[in-house]
Structure 1
Amino acid sequence: MTTFVLVSGGYTGGWIWRDVAAGLRAAGAEAHPVTLTGTGERRHLGGPGTDLETHIEDLTQVLDHLDAPDVVLVGYCYGIYPAVGAADRRPGRVARLVYLDSPMPQDGYSMLDQVRERMPEGATRERVLTQARHAEDGWRIPAPTREEWREWGNLAGVTPQALDRIVRLASPQPLGPLDQKLRLTGAAADLPVTGVFCTEGGSMDIATLEALVASGMPLVQRLAAPANGFFDIATGHWPMISTPDELTDVLLRSAAGEGHRLTAPATSGTR
């Protein structure tokens, strides 16, 4: 039986996985949606000391308390940062790491570091950084309003009723987890990886990644390893809400080792 641990992104909680978790269980898998400290129904447990290590520990405890030896760990959006951190601390408990419409966290960088250094100049970048600078009480970022979700949330495929639910359940986001640098030992560097790209309004898809690999860009070369697979989903940034059946199928196929394979650039040497 495959066991999935589903890690939410910012402002949300385990509630976003309701339909996907039900689909995975109906297919015979175990599904464990996780709400990180200070978000969702655990928002009251957050505080000025809530940081990335707090969220990594949340996931480490989940992995330690599951009977399953091999977990498919799914990190969505910001949730990939604690997911990568937990995999680094418990590599023997994780069979595959799934990057669901998420960045690629790097050792020594916080999420905000990567926004500052790698996100193109523009309104989205400035909004993220401005919100972080004006966090309430110096430690929490208010949840977006309905208008902000519509403007910034990449809601392609999300119905008005589903948006009502997002607005109702969204929680403030602790700043510490976004601002603390990720520290990795490299223990999980060789774990199989699946990347899932949401292509409506997104900046990345399989074709773009293939071009980056072919260019020789060092950051992405390891993604061409034979065990790694990739999927495109034609929806916005909320596939667990907009296309839950398709995402469920993609996650099951990921666990089975399926997905598009990348080709590493040819190398030449001298004799």
Structure 2
Amino acid sequence: MAALVLVPGFWLGAWAWEDVARELRSAGHEVHTVTLTGLAERAGEAGPGTGVQAHIADIVRVIEDNGLQDVVLVGHSGANVPVTGAAARIPGRIARLVFVDTAPLPSGMAVIDFNHPATQERWRKEVAEEGDGQWLPVPPFERTGDAHDLAGLTDEHLARLRERCTPQPFATATEGLDLPHGLPAVPSSLVACTFTPGQLRELAASGSPLFAPLAGMDLHHLPTGHWPMFSRPVELAMTLGGLADR
């Protein structure tokens, strides 16, 4: 049976996967949850140069130190870049990449580049004014913001996010991956939460190089907001477990 390595998105630590990991382990799966450098209990380990390569190294270290093979490597949201980089570095150990409400980015593209220009400007302003020039502050997680993004979250979920999230090393948002040979040649799946598979297929067929990788991906639909490990942990675990059982 494949081992699952779960990598959280921006502002999160391994704690974000607690409910999903519990479900997977109860079904007999081997699960490793990752806290990336500079986040959660590792907040004190980051420096000014902590970026994408440090997070790739974190993931590779978990896989190699635990002697894992046939890994189902799961990345949520902004973890799309480091899980792609880890798979490119050790492709022989990766059985499948799974992107949770995110997708691989083209070579050289950073997470910030994928966002609307207004969001990019807001992030840079927040980092300069509140993040000492190197930290992306935790969002307010208020329902007055993007209700679609927060769909399915209870008030208790929102309070938990506000309490436990930590600022994100900003270089991880501004650094892209150099992929001279293209995306890793491993099977890839996408669990779509804020988009439907039909919408993703339309993007894939649009001819834009940005969405070209979607055409070859195995698509799954888990309708909820952008944080399914909180809003629908049982269903997410079932989806990931099914992919691991292939």
TM-score by length of 1: 0.82
What residue is the counterpart of 2:222 in the other structure? 233
Amino acid at match of 2:60: T
What residue is the counterpart of 2:196 in the other structure? 205
What residue is the counterpart of 1:37 in the other structure? 37
Shift of 1:68: 2.6
What secondary structure sits across from 1:151 in the alignment? coil
Give runs of aligned pairs for residues 29-178 of structure 1, distance below 5 A: 29-115=29-115, 119=116, 124-134=119-129, 136-147=131-142, 151-152=145-146, 154-178=149-173
Amino acid at match of 1:52: V
Partner deviation per Cα, 1:32-73 (whole Å, 9 max, x = no partner): 110100011111111212111111111111121123311000
Distance (whole Å) between structure 2 residues aligned to residue 74 and residue 161 of structure 1:
25
The answer to which structure, 1 or 2, has the higher relative contact order (CA under 8 A, 6+ apart) is 2
Q: Which has the larger radius of gyration?
A: 1
Conserved 8 A contact 1:89-1:187: no
Partner deviation per Cα, 1:201-226 (whole Å, 9 max, x = no partner): xxx3210122233444445445444x
Amino acid at match of 2:200: L
Distance (whole Å) between structure 2 residues aligned to residue 84 and residue 68 of structure 1:
17
Distance (whole Å) between structure 2 residues aligned to residue 72 and residue 211 of structure 1:
27
Amino acid at match of 2:227: W
Shift of 1:194: 0.3
1:192 aligns with 2:187: yes
- How many corresponding residue pairs? 245
Distance (whole Å) between structure 2 residues aligned to residue 125 and residue 110 of structure 1:
11
What RMSD over aligned residues (CA atoms) do the two structures have, in Å? 2.1
Question: Structure 1 residues 76, 156: CA separation in 2 closer, same or farther (over 3 Å shift)?
Answer: same
Distance (whole Å) between structure 1 residues aligned to residue 175 and residue 212 of structure 2:
26
Amino acid at match of 1:186: H
Question: Structure 1 residues 51, 27: CA separation in 2 closer, same or farther (over 3 Å shift)?
Answer: same
Q: Which runs of 5+ in 1 are unaligned?
A: 258-271
Distance (whole Å) between structure 2 residues aligned to residue 219 and residue 142 of structure 1:
27
Distance (whole Å) between structure 1 residues aligned to residue 193 and residue 99 of structure 2:
11
Distance (whole Å) between structure 1 residues aligned to residue 16 and residue 112 of structure 2:
23
Partner deviation per Cα, 1:219-251 (whole Å, 9 max, x = no partner): 5445444xx421111110110100001001111
Partner deviation per Cα, 1:66-89 (whole Å, 9 max, x = no partner): 233110000100111110011100
What residue is the counterpart of 1:180 in the other structure? 175
Question: Structure 1 residues 247, 150: CA separation in 2 closer, same or farther (over 3 Å shift)?
Answer: farther
Query: Identity percentage over the alignment?
Result: 40
What secondary structure sits across from 1:137 in the alignment? coil
